Chains A and B, each alone.
Chain A
Amino acid sequence: MIDINATLVAQMLNFLILVVILRLVAYKPIVRMLKEREDRIAGSIKKADDDAAEAEAVLNDYKAQLATARTKAQAIMDKAEKRARDEHTAKLQETNVEINQLKEAAQQQIQRERSQAVEQLKGQMVALSMAAAHKIVSKNMDAAENEALISEFIDQLDKDKIGDLPC
């Protein structure tokens, strides 16, 4: 049952041949493929990490841009508001000035018209005085009569005085 013979050497050779064949047929390609897979997985993980980092960077960039845009928009709005307020104030002032000018012009006109009226009245008064004087002279009366006439004349004047302008 236990007889050692040349089979022993043959089995050693057989085994060594098998090692060589397996190494060529299976072991090398499989190990190469395992390495490839390892690299691929490592690459995928790295790529995923990179992508995530990049996405975060882009997000941060967008956030920053959004914040800047918001600030800018606020600034523009503030500026527009300020300009509107300034314009409003300027218009108001202008209108005030115009109103004052108009008021002044009106007052001047009123003044002018009044002085004109006074002038006119004065002229009429002179004419009336002349007429009264003529009447007096033509009647040739005494002093008392003269006085009475004049006062009567003035009374009459007072009675139908024009408006309530002070004479």
Chain B
Amino acid sequence: MHEIGVRETVQFAGLTFNWETLVMTWITMAIVVLIAFLASRSLKLVPTGAQNVVEMLIVWLREQVQNNLGPRGDFLTPLIVTLFLFLVISNWLGLVPQMVSPTNDLNTTLGLALLMVLIVHVLGIYMKGMHYIKHFFQPVAPFVVINAIEEVAKPITLSFRLFGNIMAGEILIIILLKLVPIWMPIPSVIWLAFSIFIGGVQAFIFTSLSLAYLANAVKESEE
């Protein structure tokens, strides 16, 4: 029986890894690459099937990127598309029996959130230079404390929101299956459907918040 919150770990080069999370992440990556491969295997000017779906997703996310970051942020679209696809597939993977979501591990969500914040700051300094650093001391110098708290809060809220949602969803599925007799599947099915919805919504929230943070660093200040 799967015990909640206890993780199999492996030691490698003196470091501890959550084995299950890594395997599930690789499965997710494989699924995402497969979808991308199927969608772009035979690209046609008049799209059909899988190409339609992935194309729609890319066009939609590209629009989001352009609305938030302006034309200068176009090079970040692959990152955003990947982030969304990875998160959606991760969140939904846990709904398949015998599988768990990579996003039910704080290591995954915090890793992604930190990566995003890191990209934000690096891009901010790269694209705006001193102007970007100066904005932490706006409107007056003492505000640097509040701004610092905000910057620290960003990855924490981002990661814990996703982690909490997915973890709670999976826990509730296990609990429902234990509480309700097997001939009464309606609560589990409803919760499963709701989890599918939550998985999509959380992926979208994570993606749009990342976009909003990126906008802060990339978008031109006069805009």
Contacts and interface: CB of A to CB of B under 8 A. Distances in A.
Contacts of B78: 19, 22-23, 27
A143 interface: no
Interface residues of B, number: 48
B106 A10 contact: no
Main secondary structure on A side of the interface with B: helix
Given A4-B106, A15-B86, A33-B45, A9 B111 contact: yes
Interface stretch (A34-42, A109-117, A124-132, A157-165): A34-42
Nearest to A18: B29
Contacts of B79: 19
Contact of A5 (B25, B43, B107): B107
A68 B110 CA distance: 83
B37 A26 contact: yes
Interface residues of A, number: 32
Contacts of B12: 6
Main secondary structure on B side of the interface with A: helix
A15 B82 contact: yes
B32 A22 contact: yes
B218 interface: no
Given A4-B106, A10-B17, A25 B36 contact: yes
Given A1-B4, A7-B18, A30-B43, 13 more contacts: A1-B5, A3-B7, A4-B110, A5-B15, A6-B15, A6-B17, A7-B21, A7-B108, A9-B111, A11-B111, A15-B111, A27-B58, A29-B40
Interface of A: 1-12, 14-19, 21-23, 25-27, 29-31, 33-34, 36-37, 40
25 contacts: A4-B106, A5-B9, A5-B17, A5-B107, A6-B12, A7-B17, A8-B114, A10-B22, A11-B107, A11-B111, A12-B114, A15-B86, A15-B111, A15-B112, A15-B115, A18-B32, A18-B86, A19-B79, A19-B82, A21-B36, A22-B32, A26-B58, A27-B77, A30-B58, A36-B45
